[in-house]
Amino acid sequence: MTITKITSPRRRNPRINELLSLIGSPLEPVQVPVQLDGQAGLDQLFQCYLVVRDRIRRDGGAMRCGWLIAQSDIMYQAQHHAVWSPPNNPSELICITPKVIRQDEIMFVPDDRYPYRDRDIPNYRISEPISSVVDDLILVERIRDVFEAQFSYVNDRDQDVPDHYSEHYRLIKNMRQEWISFISLGGRLTSPCFCGKQKIYRECHGFDMKGKAEALLSDYELSLDWMPEIML
């Protein structure tokens, strides 16, 4: 099972509908054309907020935030994303940021409830096809997202990780890579756990992952469903 190929779907299906339900945006998804900003290089891959801000400084217009719907071989993702509205047509949406998704359009869900305020916004994910092991990876990804949403940026790319987060944050990032490798090699509930102990995954790192994730976040007065305050 590979997890490197990422696309943005062109039409809805039952799993995308489940993902949209998690997002809870009052607006429906639309297909947004991709017209990369000519002054944004590959060093700005995924830096949508910065690319759109630079475009607004040069040409005017506005930033519209929402969710880029992406799909890999193991999951659907709703990635918080910024697109550009040109000054002569405020209703038009254009994706101008370099991304690994090389398509002429993306599925985008406009959602003004979570404007960018120099803090990351946690993403939403569901497994595809349904898999308990992938669901555990999604929990690890969610913990990382919620942690990173608490960190401020010291420059365009680097975050300031408070000391009391550093140990668990480093652990979660390392574990994420372990899960990705395990899944890529075909790891299942009954496979030997990736940690090397003489236990199957289901009875080792895969045991009560949701309970462990909730307990870890509760130590920081956070939760799996944590989101920033909605801006109305």
Could you tell me the pLDDT band of residue 2, with boundaries at 50, 70 and 90? very low
Q: Which residue has the higher pLDDT, 204 or 39?
A: 204
Inter-residue contact 22 to 69 (CB < 8 Å): no
> What ranges make up the beta strands (E) of the chain?
30-33, 62-71, 75-85, 105-110, 124-127, 152-153, 159-160
| Neighbouring residues of 62: CB distance < 8 A, sequence distance ≥ 6 | 56, 84, 85, 87, 90
Assessment of whether the complete model's pTM goes beyond 0.85: yes
Whole-number pLDDT of residue 38:
72
Q: In the structure encoding, which two tokens stand for residue 55, read together?
A: 């475009």
Q: Angle formed by the axes of helices 132-148 and 209-218, to 10°?
A: 10
Handedness of CA 58, 61, 63, 69 (dihedral sign): negative
Q: In the structure encoding, which two tokens stand for residue 30, read together?
A: 């639309």
Could you tell me the pLDDT band of residue 3, with boundaries at 50, 70 and 90? low
Inter-residue contact 125 to 182 (CB < 8 Å): no
pLDDT one-digit tens code per residue, 150-208: 999 988 788 999 999 999 999 999 999 999 999 999 999 999 999 988 899 999 999 99
CA distance 88 to 39: 20
Find how far residue 123's CA is from the centre of its chain.
Answer: 4
pLDDT one-digit tens code per residue, 102-158: 789 999 999 999 999 889 999 999 998 889 999 999 999 999 999 999 999 988 788
| Structural domain spans, the chain | 14-110, 131-218
Whole-number pLDDT of residue 157:
82
CA distance 190 to 186: 11
User: What's the one-letter identity of residue 133?
Assistant: V
Residues facing 82 on adjacent strands? 65
Q: What is the mean pLDDT of the chain?
A: 91
Handedness of CA 112, 117, 123, 124 (dihedral sign): negative
Helix (H) or strand (E) holding 145: helix 132-148
Share of the chain above pLDDT 90, in %: 80
